[in-house]
Amino acid sequence: MGGKVEKQSETKVFGGWNRRYKHDSSVLGCSMTFTVYFPSGSNSKLPVLYYLSGLTCNDENVIQKSGCQRAAAQHGIAFVAPDTSPRGLSIEGEDESWDFGSGAGFYLNATQDKWKQYRMYDYITKELPEVLGQFDELDTSNAAITGHSMGGHGALVIGLRNPEQYKSISAFAPICHPVQVPWGEKAFGNYLGSNKEEWKQYDATKLAKSYKGPQRDILIDQGSKDNFLQNQLQPEHFEKAAAGNQALQCTLRMQEGYDHSYFFMASFMDDHIAHAAKHLK
């Protein structure tokens, strides 16, 4: 699964290397890119922090804008940034909307025939770790997950559904209750069909209520001036659901004056990498 990786570029930063790769994905049926930041100086295999990006982004946005390499180097963690959707499948309508189709895979496995190649859930949880297994420097059995917006939704859902695979979960401004907000209704309706019972498996708030795995300490940062806060994100719903589950502890930090941008993420990225490091080591 996943095929051989080909290095596309590399850039040195904070003593380590951003390396961008391309491979042919058997899960998605297209070529995919991902970027890994490899810190230097470790004599043992590196734990892995997966970062899932938001709508319209690819693997490069967070690498170029967040300053994640500084804290990743400090803690000796490999920072892995995959793309957000399949690309170039020539599906009618895949490039018509910024919040659906290309750049908007929502980290689920589509069930509708037209979108059946949109299987980002399987790509992130199965194929990408197998591809990363080709790197001797990485220990994919020691992994954490985080993300922003749509990617925050993905991190919460994937982390809660696969507690044996991810030792730490955090998120920046996540879409917490997608079954009842416009972004989620549009994506889930098209990818999964009209049966809303099927949607619940990809809703973090629903999953928090039913979660029965090991204890998880989840960090969420949310900007108070985020234009999407009430209409699309609804972190208070997840916080309430987690509070009712003894296996979950959710720390929701409302950050005064911050918006939805990479400026917000860059301001708190170090905290999220430190959060992951605490559980990875």
Catalytic residue among 23, 75, 260, 275: 260
Is residue 177 part of the annotated active site? The answer reads no
Q: Work out whether strand 30-38 and strand 16-25 pair parallel, antiparallel, or are unpaired.
A: antiparallel
> Which residue intervals of 41-176 are DSSP H helices?
60-65, 68-75, 120-122, 128-132, 150-161
Contact criterion met (CB below 8 Å) for 39 and 19: no
Is residue 226 part of the annotated active site? The answer reads yes
Q: Which residues contact 90 (CB under 8 A, 6 or more apart)?
A: none
Cα–Cα distance between 84 and 58 in angstroms, integer? 6
Catalytic residue among 53, 153, 226, 275: 226
In a 3-state reduction of DSSP, which class is residue 246? Answer: coil
Catalytic residue among 25, 149, 168, 170: 149
Q: Work out whether strand 216-223 and strand 248-255 pair parallel, antiparallel, or are unpaired.
A: parallel
Residues annotated catalytic, as ranges: 149, 226, 260
